[in-house]
């Protein structure tokens, strides 16, 4: 009798492992699709850095937004594979790609409106919920990670927009990255990956400030940028 | 969101944080959420540490059961101790986890949970000679909402939080359970050696058979997790020692007085582990 009970215990664990492996397999293939789309969007947005890319920003954003349609579809497929209330059991599989996609969505919103994407909008663009209680969502850490990726991308854009002759943009970028930096400073980060990534933010900030410096000493900053850059309050 | 401490306010003024900016306002919110989560995590780690310590003590107590004249009362004492851990600490953990994804905080409470499973399974093995199932442990760690009438008269120490109105539980993932079972084998090995010392020559054979069952089952699982693999190699060593003990009893049990077997045993197990170490080096 007890022999049977013990065997039962071990065989049911075997079933559990098999089932888990199946779920992981499903998730992995789904995540691979999302990664593919994310790469496409990233490649698409790269053309902003090219010589005349800045002029084409509105159409580029339009196109990138269209691609996000696929992302939403794929995320909804993924969310079906993840058992309820077990988001964090499998989180590692899609952590990376959802960070990248939040970064990309933030980048698009910045290019369009020069503003920070809200967590709500970011979740909406990815087709997921904002809070854990509502279903498949984006972890707060991952969203913040995406914002840090945005900062790196923007510091690169600051350099390239100067090359392309747009002298106003770097000033606005420096201001925005500075704001992000002071935002992150408000957070009490633990000694984890987010903290490590945050430590790199200061270099992005430094880079964009250097660009502004270079423009300023040469008198290249457009007039209206100068006035808004001053701390008005 | 002004801070009550003057120091912090002053500091904030010198760094030019524009409180009206949308970015800053958003980050203020993130700050609250992050802090809340980190605090919960810390509280769980503390609770888990308490559970670990208490469970370790219970296991020590259980080791005294074998060969003790008063083993029945010692067993019931340990059961009481386990119940106390459950009612005070585990209940708090389950309340912290209410409405959360248990996997999000698993790393905080996993060490305590494993140690607790080890203690419970060890108790049940000594009590009934069988392996307690995951379902039983899970049921044991599920707390129904307290009956308001009963809560008022109950002992304040064990009285649960009265405000709670839903059933809460400490979720036990099957892998955690199996890791706890793997730890159990280490205790079983110690139990064998102790029991020989106490003059019980039957128990080692029983334990040996039990451990083999666990070992065989673990072998069939294959590559599940790194943690399980590590425990597997410890398990193999423990089994080796127990098998050696059984061998020694079988061969020499009839020849030498009981109280000497224990010395012989500790000698052989040392030899064998030294031998194994060398084998690993090559």
Chain B residues lying within 8 Å of A89, measured CB to CB: 103, 173
Q: In angstroms, how far is CA A192 from the centroid of its own chain?
A: 18
A133 contacts B133? CB cut-off 8 A = no
Average pLDDT, stretch B54-72?
84
Q: What is the predicted pLDDT for the residue at B169?
A: 85
Q: What is the pLDDT of residues B235-245, one digit of tens each?
A: 999 999 999 88
Q: What is the pLDDT of residues B160-196, one digit of tens each?
A: 444 567 788 888 999 999 999 999 999 999 998 888 8
Q: What does each C-alpha distance from B195 to A112, B128, B264 come to in angstroms?
A: 76, 17, 14
Nearest chain B residue to A1 by CA: give it. Answer: B130
Chain B residues lying within 8 Å of A86, measured CB to CB: 101, 103
Which residues of chain A are under the pLDDT cut of 50? Answer: 1, 229-233
Average pLDDT, stretch B94-111?
89
What's the whole-model pTM score? 0.82
A119 contacts B18? CB cut-off 8 A = no
Neighbours of B46 (CB within 10 A): 14
Cross-chain CB nearest to B22 (options A86, A116, A231): A116
State the Cα–Cα distance between residues A129 and A126, nearest whole angstrom.
9
Neighbours of A25 (CB within 10 A): 11
Average pLDDT, stretch B1-12?
44
Q: What is the pLDDT of residues B120-165, one digit of tens each?
A: 999 999 888 888 888 889 988 888 876 655 444 444 444 444 456 7
Q: What is the predicted pLDDT for the residue at B38?
A: 93
State the Cα–Cα distance between residues A119 and A145, nearest whole angstrom.
12
State the Cα–Cα distance between residues B184 and B176, nearest whole angstrom.
12
State the Cα–Cα distance between residues A154 and A171, nearest whole angstrom.
11
State the Cα–Cα distance between residues A161 and A153, nearest whole angstrom.
12
């Amino acid at each position: 009798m007890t022999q049977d009970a013990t065997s039962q215990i071990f065989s049911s664990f075997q079933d559990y492992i098999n089932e888990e492996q199946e779920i992981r397999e499903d998730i992995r293939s789904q995540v691979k699709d999302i990664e593919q789309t994310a790469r496409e969007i990233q490649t698409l947005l790269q053309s902003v850095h090219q010589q005349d890319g800045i002029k084409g920003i509105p159409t580029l954003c339009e196109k990138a937004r269209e691609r996000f349609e696929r992302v939403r579809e794929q995320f909804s497929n993924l969310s079906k594979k993840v058992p309820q209330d077990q988001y964090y059991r499998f989180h590692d599989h899609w952590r990376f790609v959802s960070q990248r996609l939040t970064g990309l969505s933030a980048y698009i919103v910045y290019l369009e409106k020069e503003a920070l994407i809200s967590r709500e909008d970011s979740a909406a663009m990815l087709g997921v919920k904002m809070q854990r209680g509502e279903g498949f969502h984006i972890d707060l850490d991952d969203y913040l990670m995406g914002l840090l990726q945005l900062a790196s991308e923007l510091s690169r854009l600051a350099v390239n927009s100067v090359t392309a002759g747009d002298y106003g943009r770097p000033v606005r970028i420096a201001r925005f990255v500075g704001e992000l930096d002071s935002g992150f400073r408000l957070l009490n980060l633990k000694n984890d990956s987010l903290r490590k990534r945050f430590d790199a933010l200061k270099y992005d900030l430094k880079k964009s400030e250097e660009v502004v410096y270079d423009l300023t000493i040469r008198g290249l900053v457009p007039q209206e940028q100068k006035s808004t850059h001053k701390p008005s309050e | 969101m002004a801070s009550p401490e003057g120091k912090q306010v002053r500091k904030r003024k010198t760094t030019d944080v524009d409180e009206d900016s949308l970015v800053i306002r958003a980050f203020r919110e993130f700050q609250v959420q992050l802090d809340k989560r980190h605090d919960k995590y810390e509280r769980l780690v503390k609770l888990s540490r308490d559970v670990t310590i208490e469970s370790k003590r219970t296991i020590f107590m259980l080791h005294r059961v074998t060969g003790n004249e008063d083993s029945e009362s010692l067993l019931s004492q340990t059961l009481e101790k386990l119940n106390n851990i459950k009612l005070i600490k585990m209940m708090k953990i389950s309340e912290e986890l209410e409405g959360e994804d248990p996997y999000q905080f698993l790393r905080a409470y996993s060490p305590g949970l494993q140690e607790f499973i080890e203690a419970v399974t060890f108790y049940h093995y000594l009590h009934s000679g069988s392996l307690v199932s995951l379902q039983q442990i899970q049921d044991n760690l599920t707390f129904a909402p307290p009956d308001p009438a009963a809560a008022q008269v109950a002992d304040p120490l064990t009285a649960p939080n009265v405000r709670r109105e839903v059933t809460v539980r400490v979720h036990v993932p099957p892998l955690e359970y199996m890791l706890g079972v793997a730890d159990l084998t280490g205790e079983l090995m110690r139990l064998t050696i102790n029991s020989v010392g106490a003059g019980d020559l039957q128990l080692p054979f029983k334990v040996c058979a039990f451990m083999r069952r666990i070992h065989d089952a673990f072998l069939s699982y294959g590559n599940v997790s790194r943690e399980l693999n590590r425990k597997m190699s410890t398990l193999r060593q423990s089994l080796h020692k127990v098998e050696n003990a059984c061998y020694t009893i079988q061969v020499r049990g009839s020849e030498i007085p009981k109280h000497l077997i224990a010395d012989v045993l500790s000698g052989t197990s040392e030899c064998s582990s030294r031998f194994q170490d060398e084998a690993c080096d090559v």
